[in-house]
Structure 1
């Protein structure tokens, strides 16, 4: 019996395993980052979320009538979009802390 006769795992089960393992790994890694590095980490997560958005779009396009895969891809796209927008807002606030404020003119 070759590999061709082995049963294949449905794509939804594979996607759920990737989601579960990625969530556990992310939780462990983020938990070990010192609080002073959380803001730069959020900025770096924007790039990863952008890649996640592309993967979610690919899952939606390749769903081929598979409603669970379509729903999972849509939810993933929504979460990744939320993360990108939040990351850009946090990065903007972080950069605003380092910008110079214009000098005030005093009326004497």
Structure 2
């Protein structure tokens, strides 16, 4: 497997862009944006499952694929838990 400098550069730029975007979101918008990002996280989970399934005999690819599936699953479940809690705040008290 040949990892070129372009792939590494793209990965590092994605990390910096993600950090900048997350730190610039005000707290009042964080929860609604998290609700919307659950769909994106679902797509990430599907991609992680596909990457984990195409590892073959390469140990590194299998480990990274497993980690991607685990982290994407945590992200999706956590996002739905936060959304559920946010929606519970708006229910009427009987």
Give, in whole Å, the separation in 1 of the partners of 2:6 and 2:52. Answer: 15
Q: How does 1:85-100 map to 2 (within 5 A)?
A: 85-100=77-92
Give the whole-Å Cα distance in 1 for the aligned partners of 2:52 and 2:7. 12
TM-score between the two structures when normalised by the length of structure 2:
0.85
Q: CA deviation at 1:15?
A: 7.1
State the distance in 1 between where 2:10 and 2:77 align.
23
Partner of 2:44: 52
Structure having the higher Rg = 1
**TM-score of the aligned structures, taking structure 1 as reference length:** 0.75
Q: Secondary structure at the match of 2:25?
A: coil
Report the count of equivalent residues: 94
Gaps of 5+ in 2: none
**Residue equivalent to 2:64:** 72
Higher helix residue share: 2
Task: Flag the 1:47–1:24 CA change in 2: closer, same or farther, 3 A.
Answer: same
Q: Which moved more, 1:14-23 or 1:61-70?
A: 14-23
